[in-house]
Amino acid sequence: MTGSAAAEIAYLARALRAPRIGAVAARLADRAREAGWAYEAYLAAVLTEEVSARDSHGGAARVKAARFPAVKTLDDFDFTVQTSVSRQTIAHLAELDFLAEAKNVVFLGPPGTGKTHLSIALGVRAARRGHRVAFATAQQWVNRLGAAKRAGRLDEELERLARIPLLIVDEVGYIPFDPEAAALFFALVSSRYERRSLIVSSNKTFSAWAEIFGDPVAVAAMVDRLVHHAEVIVRKGESYRLRGKREEVLTADKER
Ligand code: ADP
Ligand code: MG
């Protein structure tokens, strides 16, 4: 590349706020000359570099902003240890049509069966594909909404959350809710109904939710909204954490 063209590209890349173009233009031009690329192939290669730099930047930032307790992916998930969820169902969810359609995903099942893992994996996928995501336990969501309510800005907070396409609510049912917490949880579910997606996990069946939330009638209405447009995935079987350790765990139990 001639000196003046290189300087002009550097200037134009800055003007476009496309730093990666500035960084790769000369190197790719050398490769293009050596390999005899068409003009179009060179332009495509340069633009691809910029696009993937932007994607991975934004993706990493969104994954961080989502506050996942750990980053898990579908690639780390072993579908052979449990057949209660089909790889196909999850692969379909990973296409993220459910986000566009404001549908929900609900994982139910005993501890250690991969509910949180799969929730995070779908969330990471969404974040990397350009969607904002926020992860918290049910208790943390309720605390956050409770603080907003006390500050007199619950509606504002729900509106703010409505701008996030995917909220993940983990561990519904680990701790029973008092009536105030239950009401906040119901408000969250209704505020997103047919507008935005939720991924919810619980170690309790829906029939046990009445006990967690206290008010069977309100719970029925809430579950109705939650599952009206949802993929409900029921996990079964033994804990992945305890796999192959059942003997030791049981013996340890007896020795205690
Ligand atoms: P749950 O939320 O259902 O209690 P987790 O998703 O937290 O369970 O799973 C417990 C641990 O086991 C996590 O570290 C998770 O990554 C791992 N795990 C669970 N199921 C699988 C699986 N099928 N393949 C790989 N890791 C798994
Ligand atoms: Mg979990």
Report, as an integer, the average pLDDT of 32-61.
87
Answer yes or no: is pLDDT of 256 > 50: no
Phi, psi of 113 (to 5 degrees): -100, 15
Q: Is the pLDDT of residue 196 over 90?
A: yes
Distance CA 31, CA 26 (A): 9
Residue 250: pLDDT band with limits 50, 70, 90: low
- Report which ligand 1 atom has the smallest distance to the Cα of 118: 6
Name the pTM for this structure.
0.79
Indicate which residue's Cα is closest to atom 19 of ligand 1: 114
Ligand nearest to the CA of 114: 1
CATH numbers and ranges of domains, the chain:
3-60 (no CATH), 74-234 (3.40.50.300)
Counting from 1 in the atom list of ligand 1, the atom nearest the Cα of 111 is 4
More confident residue, 84 or 110: 110
pLDDT in tens, 199-220: 999 999 999 999 999 988 999 9
Cβ 119 under 6 angstroms from ligand 1: no
CA dihedral 42, 44, 45, 48 (to 10 degrees): 160
The answer, yes or no, to whether any atom of ligand 1 lies below 6 A from the CB of 81, is: yes
DSSP 108: E
Nearest CA to 112 out of 82, 139, 136 is that of 82
Cα distance between residue 243 and residue 256, in whole Å: 21
Query: What does the mean pLDDT of the chain come to?
Result: 90
**Nearest alpha carbon, ligand 1 atom 5:** 114
Q: What number is the average pLDDT over the span 180-202?
A: 96
Q: Which tens digits make up the pLDDT trace of 127-155? A: 988 889 999 999 999 999 999 999 999 99
Scanning the chain, the segments in alpha helix (DSSP H) are 3-15, 19-35, 39-65, 87-93, 97-100, 115-128, 138-150, 154-162, 179-192, 206-213, 216-228, 246-255
| pLDDT attached to residue 254 | 46
Taking the centre of ligand 2 as the mean of its atom positions, its distance from the CA of residue 172, in whole angstroms, is 9
Average confidence (pLDDT) over 243-248? 64
* 211 SS3 class: helix
> Which residues surround the ion ligand 2 when the cut-off is CB under 5 Å?
116
Q: Distance, CA 9 to ligand 2 centroid (Å)? A: 50
